A and B are shown apart, each in its own frame.
Chain A
Amino acid sequence: MFQSIISYGLAVGAVYALIGITYNVMFSASRVFSFTAGMLGMLGGVLGALFITEWGLPAIVGLVLVLACGAVLGIVTEIVTVRPVLKSIDQHLYVLSTLAFALMIQQLTAIWWGTDARPFPRLIPVGAGWLDQQFWLPMLACAVTIVGLELLYRKTLIGRAFLAIAEDSYAARALGLPETGLRMASYALAGMIGALAGFSGAEILLAFMGNQAILNFYGFVPVALGGMGSNRGAVIGGLALGVFQQAANFLVGGIFAAVAVFAVFIVVLLLRPEGLAGASAARRV
Chain B
Amino acid sequence: MTDATASAPAAGASWLGKLEGKVSWILLGVAGLLLPLLDDSYIGVIAQRAYIYWVLSAGLNLVVGYAGQIAIGWVSMLTLGAYTTAALTAGTATEPWHPYLALIAGGVVGAVAGLVVGLPALRLRTFYFAMTTLGFATIVTQVALAWKSVTGGGVGTPGPVFPWPFDPGWGFYYFCFILAALATWMTANIASSRFGRALVAIRDAEVAAEASGIAKPKLLMAVFLFAGALGGVAGGLFSSLQSYITPDAFTFEISVLFFIAILIGGRGSILGPALGTIILTALPEFAAPLVQWSTFLYAALLLVIVLVIPGGIADLLDYKNRRPLEQHREIAPRQELLGRLLDKSDAKHTIALKDIALHFGGVRAIDGLDLEIRSGEVQGLIGPNGSGKTTTLNVISGYYAPKSGTLMLDGRSLPFGQPHLRARYRIARTFQTPRLVGAASVLENVMIGGTVHGHASFAEATLALPRNRRDEKLLHEAAMQALATVGLENLAGVRADRLQHSELRFMEIARALMLRPAFLMLDEPAAGLSPEEIRRLGSLIKAISREGTGVLLVEHHADLIFDICDHVTVLNLGKVLAAGTPNEIRSHREVVSAYLGA
Show the binding face of A for B, using Cβ within 8 Å.
33, 80-81, 84-85, 91-93, 95-97, 99-101, 103-104, 107-108, 110-111, 213-214, 216-217, 220-221, 224, 253-255, 258-259, 261-262, 265-266, 269-270, 273, 283-285
Q: B120 contacts A269, CB within 8 Å? A: yes
What separation, in Å, do the CA atoms of A253 and B126 have in the docked complex?
32
What separation, in Å, do the CA atoms of A231 and B93 have in the docked complex?
44
Show the binding face of B for A, using Cβ within 8 Å.
70, 72, 116, 119-120, 123-128, 130-132, 134-139, 142-143, 146-147, 207, 252, 256, 259, 263, 292-293, 295-296, 298-300, 302-303, 306-307, 310, 360, 390, 394, 399-400, 431
What separation, in Å, do the CA atoms of A266 and B120 have in the docked complex?
7
Check A97/B307 contact, CB under 8 A, given A107-B295, A214-B138, A285-B394.
yes
Closest CB-CB distance, B214 to chain A, in whole Å? 16
Residue in B126, B135, B302 whose CB lies within 8 Å of A265: B135
Residue in B72, B119, B139, B360 whose CB lies within 8 Å of A270: B119
Across-interface contacts of A224 in B (CB, < 8 A): 128, 131
Q: B307 contacts A85, CB within 8 Å? A: yes
Which secondary structure dominates where chain A touches chain B? helix
What separation, in Å, do the CA atoms of A258 and B144 have in the docked complex?
11
Check A93/B306 contact, CB under 8 A, given A103-B256, A270-B120.
yes
Q: A96 contacts B306, CB within 8 Å? A: yes
Q: A285 contacts B306, CB within 8 Å? A: no
Across-interface contacts of B259 in A (CB, < 8 A): 96
7 of the cross-chain contacts (CB-CB < 8 Å) are A91-B310, A95-B127, A95-B130, A107-B293, A111-B296, A255-B146, A266-B120
Residue in B131, B132, B147, B431 whose CB lies within 8 Å of A255: B147
Across-interface contacts of B307 in A (CB, < 8 A): 84-85, 97
| Closest residue of A by beta carbon distance from B302 | A100
Q: A259 contacts B70, CB within 8 Å? A: no
What separation, in Å, do the CA atoms of A107 and B252 have in the docked complex?
11
Most buried by B among A84, A110, A265: A265
Q: B302 contacts A96, CB within 8 Å? A: yes
Across-interface contacts of B131 in A (CB, < 8 A): 33, 216-217, 220, 224
Closest CB-CB distance, A134 to chain B, in whole Å? 22
Q: B252 contacts A262, CB within 8 Å? A: no
Q: B70 contacts A95, CB within 8 Å? A: yes
Across-interface contacts of A254 in B (CB, < 8 A): 142, 146
| Closest residue of A by beta carbon distance from B299 | A103
| Closest residue of B by beta carbon distance from A260 | B139
Q: A85 contacts B128, CB within 8 Å? A: no
| Closest residue of B by beta carbon distance from A271 | B123
Check A103/B252 contact, CB under 8 A, given A111-B292, A253-B146, A285-B399.
yes
Q: B303 contacts A97, CB within 8 Å? A: yes
Q: A270 contacts B134, CB within 8 Å? A: no
Across-interface contacts of A259 in B (CB, < 8 A): 139, 143
Across-interface contacts of B296 in A (CB, < 8 A): 103-104, 107-108, 111
Across-interface contacts of A220 in B (CB, < 8 A): 131, 135
Q: B306 contacts A103, CB within 8 Å? A: no
Q: A95 contacts B126, CB within 8 Å? A: yes
What separation, in Å, do the CA atoms of A253 and B143 have in the docked complex?
10
